[in-house]
Amino acid sequence: MLPDKLIAMANQIGQFFGTQPGTDTDRAAGIAGHLRRFWDPRMRDMIVALPEAELARLNPLPRAAVAILAQSATPPIPEIMPEGLPQGF
């Protein structure tokens, strides 16, 4: 998925959450929760990995949400195969 599409989607989600009661911290956490629940992990990984110049195009709430995702992201587990086992085992 293109960065433009991810940024547009995140900003649209941010517009909705911006109307919800609570603090900006609550709203950013709500956006991060939405992205965790409804976005494919590859989409989340892509938006977290965007360069700063791209992230600057996010509105403040979605940008804070992406920062929350980045803090909670876990690196992928490397695939280690014991010797002698066929791939896919």
Q: What is the span of the domain harbouring residue 63?
A: 1-11+47-73
Res 89: pLDDT: 47
In a domain, 55, yes or no: yes
Q: Is residue 62 part of a domain?
A: yes
Please state the domain count of the chain: 1
Q: Is residue 66 part of a domain?
A: yes
Angle at the Cα of 10 from the Cα atoms of 58 and 6, rounded to 5 degrees: 90
Cα gap 24→12, rounded to integer Å: 16
Question: Mean pLDDT for each 10-residue chunk of the chain (89 residues)?
Answer: 93 97 96 96 95 96 97 64 54
Is residue 16 a part of any domain in this protein? no
